[in-house]
Amino acid sequence: MDSEPGETHLQTSTGDVVCPFCAMACDDLAVMRDRGGQLRVTANGCARARSLFALPALPAHCFIRGRAVPLDAALDAAAALLRNAASPAVGGLAADTDGISAALALAERLGAVVDHAASDSLFHGLRALQVTGAMTATFGELRNRADLFVLFGSEFDRHAPRLFDRIVRPPTALFREPGAARGFLIGPDDGATSDGFERLTADLVHAPVIAAALSQLVAGERPRGDRVGGIVMEDLARVATALREARFGVVGWIAATLDPAAGDVAVESFNRLVVTTNASTRCAGLALGGKGNALGANYVCAWQYGVPLRSRLGAGPPEHDPLRYRLKSLLAGGEVDALVWLSALNGAEVPDTRTPMIVLARPGQPLPRDPEVLIPVAVPGLDHSGSIHRGDGVAALPLRRLRPAAMLPPAAAVLNGLCDRLPAAPPPVLIRETAHV
């Protein structure tokens, strides 16, 4: 790509750049870099991408309780804090694959609980998957084939900014007319509605019963009453008819906007609606959200330790308990005495807790207070290469280094340096049974 008129100071341009700043992981961005290393998205990026790719490439100090120190001193202080911890945790986990892997290795060394900042949304889907199973499709299949979208949630432009540009109404499609998809938005009235879409206003606390009613209507049954979740039954009947008549329908949701207490029940209802619709036509589920490479963090934990997140890693077998090891609950109950928080990407806001913290954060990360130790780290996909998992769960996309001289260390290097300063975990104790005579 050539420089724009009047921009002779811009040196290099790169196309087909992967954006690491939401689960859609759009891979069509064009980015330009000036002589000072400053990046600018020039095509195909959303407002979030334009803002975060423009983060300055500046060296930054490490801090111990607000006092600037060299990296080695910060690592020494962090190691001293962790050596004295009885109940440590490693959280946030917003990073590329290598950064997450290094964070889990540190947790194993510490015998710590591991959890992602966005795991509430992630576990809504995992619990529902265990109960109902799921019928899904790749972003590419939806982009090229889907002609109807029934979307539950709100703030789609915040959680999946380019959903309509990339999947719902792409400029080109292989097996349907571009821009021909239509659909329904079910949830709060939170802004403009895209062309071809109808909004059915409802509180998302009612999402499970709305989806269950749609399942009945698709199956040819009529629920009792004139309204479900505040929506007139005739309107729901039109949605059900559209699902039956579509060549390829999609039921999608923004997990982060569902009722926190019953998100898994809502996703179960969505999954059942998809299965019911597949009895007569093609339909797929689409879970949206999962910022900060949450899905990638869960994959890395599963393939390295055989368990999902919300587990305690250590010398013995990994122990998984999605309720007991929910990090937000542990912090609220004062059950953690040292927290390592990783936020190399967006989507892992540092928790406002009095628990002693070691924070590894990208430049510009807001902080509720000065942590005990703060170590700035490089941004994957800007300052170093790596990979990130896309939200449909089928692709790990490569991230490229776009700035020639990284001013900050990658999170993996910092975490490995911290791990090297800690004593090795003791081997598991093997108990041998004694034969009785």
Distance (Å, whole) CA 156 – CA 254: 7
Cα 190 off chain centre by: 22
List C-alpha distances in Å: 406 to 28, 302, 341, 382, 385. Answer: 23, 31, 22, 9, 11
List C-alpha distances in Å: 311 to 124, 157, 233. Answer: 16, 32, 43
Distance (Å, whole) CA 228 – CA 208: 10
Which pLDDT score is estimated for 221? 94
Which pair of structure tokens corresponds to residue 102?
């290094």
Which pLDDT score is estimated for 271? 96
pLDDT tens track for 16-25: 999 999 999 9
Could you give the dihedral angle defined by the CA atoms of residues 356, 359, 364 and 369, in that order, rounded to the nearest 10 degrees?
0
Which pLDDT score is estimated for 389? 95
Burial class (CB in 10 A: 0-12, 13-18, 19+), 428: exposed
pLDDT tens digits in sequence order for the chain, 437 residues long: 344 444 444 467 788 999 999 999 999 999 999 877 789 999 999 999 999 999 887 778 999 999 999 999 999 999 999 999 999 999 999 999 999 999 999 999 999 999 999 999 999 999 998 888 999 999 999 999 999 999 998 888 888 999 999 999 998 888 888 777 899 999 998 777 777 899 999 999 999 999 999 999 999 999 988 999 999 999 999 999 999 999 999 999 998 888 888 899 999 999 999 999 999 999 999 998 888 999 999 999 999 999 999 999 997 899 999 999 999 999 999 999 999 999 999 989 999 999 999 999 998 899 999 999 999 999 999 999 999 999 998 889 999 999 877 789 999 999 999 999 998 865 554 445 544 44
Predicted TM-score (pTM) of the model is 0.90
Which pLDDT score is estimated for 334? 95
Which pLDDT score is estimated for 332? 96
CATH of 122-288, one of 3.90.1210.10, 3.40.250.10, 3.40.50.300, 3.40.228.10: 3.40.228.10
pLDDT tens track for 331-387: 999 999 999 999 999 989 999 999 999 999 998 899 999 999 999 999 999 999 999
Which pLDDT score is estimated for 11? 60
Per the CB < 8 A criterion, the answer to whether 413 and 398 are in contact is no
Residue with token string 């020039």: 42
**Domain 62-118+292-420 sits in CATH 3.40.50.720:** no
How do the domains of the chain map onto residue ranges?
Answer: 11-53, 62-118+292-420, 122-288
Which pLDDT score is estimated for 7? 42
